Amino acid sequence: MNAIAPCSTLAEVRQQIDRIDRQLVELIAERGAYVRQAARLKTTAAEVPAPARVAAVLARVDGLAQTLGAERSVVDAVWRAMIDAFIACEQAEHAALHPPSPPTP
């Protein structure tokens, strides 16, 4: 974790939060690009939700939260919401990339 800058005003605190928010959005955009790659690599829509992978990610970030001193309940809630949103994005991407075959007459 980066050193926390001492702030003497609420404006300084908000400036630091805004800086972190930008970094988080950049990282979410990067994560999304990898999610889109995953959608291309999965051959069936059933592969998209990947519950075992979700469980592994949640366990890993819980460990990171403990190690880094983050509020575990916040990390869990954020990751669950993020994963759910990315699964929906990946499902849409997968459907666009792998449309169902038309029925054979």
The ranges assigned to domains in the chain are 10-97
Mean pLDDT by 10 residues, the chain (105 residues): 91 97 98 96 95 98 97 98 97 90 76
CATH for 10-97 is 1.20.59.10
d(CA 34, CA 22): 19
Is the four-CA dihedral 71, 73, 78, 80 of positive or negative sign? positive
- Please choose, from the candidates 102, 104, 85, the residue with its C-alpha nearest in 3D space to the C-alpha of residue 93: 85
**Residue 29, CA distances (Å) to 1, 21, 64, 76, 95 in order:** 21, 12, 21, 20, 20
